[in-house]
Amino acid sequence: MSSSRTHYEVLGVDARDASTEDIKRAYKAAALASHPDKRASRVDGAAGDNSEFLKVQAAWEILKESASRAAYDARLLETARRDADVVVSDEFDIDDMDAEGSSPTKFTRRCRCGDAYEVWSDELLASFDAIDVPCASCSLHVRVRLTGGAAAAKFDAFAMATAAATAAAAAAAGTKDDAAS
């Protein structure tokens, strides 16, 4: 996301302060400036290059409605938060966490602030080596390594249960034909 422009940048408006009127004005100007017909008459050989024009259209489609603009803003914020540097204060094996329940198992460990780091086994499916887990209350993160034998066994059991449930669902839907032989 860092290399590509946001819809706001495409239109050259302020993400926080621009009103729908501001955006509409900026869109009209940008659409005019990037219109393929205009470009063709101005620059030799540039005929047919409508990529900027399409970006301007896409930006307008999202930003003209307050609902889709709000949803887009939320996505930008989430991306920024994910890209921000996470400070990892500690690192330990998942075997050092308390486990409770199964399918999914909840792993917890007390944070020094008094609250706890908490991660569910189904979140572990996405990352096999290590996962950065935030504290529920403070800004600290810990890196949890997924190398422990006991954790691996629990994880395998969970993965198998998930696979079995998926297969059962597929069988129920009648889409398992080519898997069986």
Which listed range, 7-15, 80-88, 110-118, 124-132, lies at the site for Zn ion (CB under 5 A)?
Answer: 110-118
Among 56, 111, 119, 144, contact with Zn ion (rule: CB under 5 A):
111
Q: Is 88 in the site for Zn ion (CB under 5 A)?
A: no
- Residue from 58, 70, 88, 138 in contact with Zn ion (CB under 5 A): 138
Are residues 119 and 99 in contact, defined by beta-carbon separation less than 8 angstroms? no
* Bridge partners for 109 per DSSP: 117
Closest approach of Zn ion to the CB of residue 90, in Å: 11
HSE-CB at 53 with a 13 A cutoff on CA atoms is 14
Q: Rounded distance, CA 133 to CA 110, Å? A: 12
Stretch that binds Zn ion, among 25-33, 115-123, 124-132, 141-149 (CB under 5 A): 115-123
Given 124, 135, 142, 151, the residue binding Zn ion (CB under 5 A): 135
Phi and psi at 97, nearest 5°, equal -95, 155
Helix (H) or strand (E) holding 82: helix 66-83
Q: Which two tokens stand for residue 80?
A: 């920024």
Residue placing its CB nearer to Zn ion in the complex, 136 or 170: 136
Residues that bind Zn ion (CB under 5 A): 111, 113, 115, 135, 137-138, 140
